[in-house]
Structure 1
């Protein structure tokens, strides 16, 4: 009776025993253990890092750093549309970072800047105090009878 059960085990020949290297010359993988003769790759710990060129100065260090990166000065805005303000806020309310976080439109931990965009319609009279606002959003809010106060206007004129 055979121990092979096709339902419970892998097909025959699927599981092979690993090659045991460095176990004598008669094993076929003795002496150098399949690593060849001499050289960095044959030694223990003989690895190189990505970009290594055999001791030659690597390409990423040969090429000069050029240009300017604006990354440290980049400003990221959380954009909110006028339609979202219409849905979440009542008539006569103030829209600022605190109230936006309370209504769940921005995260409470977010220290980022807020910009109001003009997608959607608004009929409620809101007092908006944010970092930036698009022209179309400003026009829609003021048309509905609301007021707009922008924190960054003085900085933009420079």
Structure 2
């Protein structure tokens, strides 16, 4: 039998049938059928939804959202020190390469290289942004950066 969404069945003994109410006192759920005496909840259709209590107090706990929130996500930053530590001589560094090395979380966000430390290895950097100082240091080391 092919396993599809329509052929999946619950395991034996997992689903329990709900107890039928209002079928005589011998059943254990007779007379008021576990609804109590009078009131809205005892009537048919008298279910009350869950209430939000102390709504004002919970609103006050939420920090105010002020100012302008940019729709553009921030780029992942990578320092020259980090590049020096993880890359080998002659490597091609791309956002995907940095993701595989575990340096960045999301390669789709984009990568910006910042000038912290030095780069001594000759590498090629592709599809990464860089600060002016970082570009200077990269080219000084004999590496290439392709935007």
TM range (shorter): 0.5 to 0.7
**Contact 1:95–1:129, Cα closer than 8 Å, also in 2:** yes
Aligned to 2:112: 115
Deviation at 1:110, TM superposition (A): 4.2
TM-score (norm 1): 0.49
1:77 lines up with 2:75 in the alignment:
yes
Unaligned runs of 5+ in 1: 1-43, 52-66, 151-158
How many aligned residue pairs are there? Answer: 91
Alpha-carbon displacement from aligned partner over 1:107-136 (angstroms, at most 9, x marks no partner): 3x5421100000011111111113310111
**How do 1:47-66 and structure 2 match up within 5 A?**
50-51=55-56
C-alpha distance 143-48 of structure 1, shift in aligned 2 (>3 A): closer
Aligned to 2:127: 130
TM-score (norm 2): 0.52
Whole-angstrom distance in 2 between the partners of 1:87 and 1:103? 11
- 1:146 is aligned, of 121, 129, 143, to 143
CA RMSD of aligned residues (A): 2.8
C-alpha distance 131-75 of structure 1, shift in aligned 2 (>3 A): farther
Alpha-carbon displacement from aligned partner over 1:12-33 (angstroms, at most 9, x marks no partner): xxxxxxxxxxxxxxxxxxxxxx
Whole-angstrom distance in 2 between the partners of 1:82 and 1:70? 29
C-alpha distance 131-122 of structure 1, shift in aligned 2 (>3 A): closer
Deviation at 1:75, TM superposition (A): 2.6
Alpha-carbon displacement from aligned partner over 1:33-67 (angstroms, at most 9, x marks no partner): xxxxxxxxxxx88x66624xxxxxxxxxxxxxxx9
C-alpha distance 86-48 of structure 1, shift in aligned 2 (>3 A): closer
Q: Whose radius of gyration is greater, 1 or 2?
A: 1
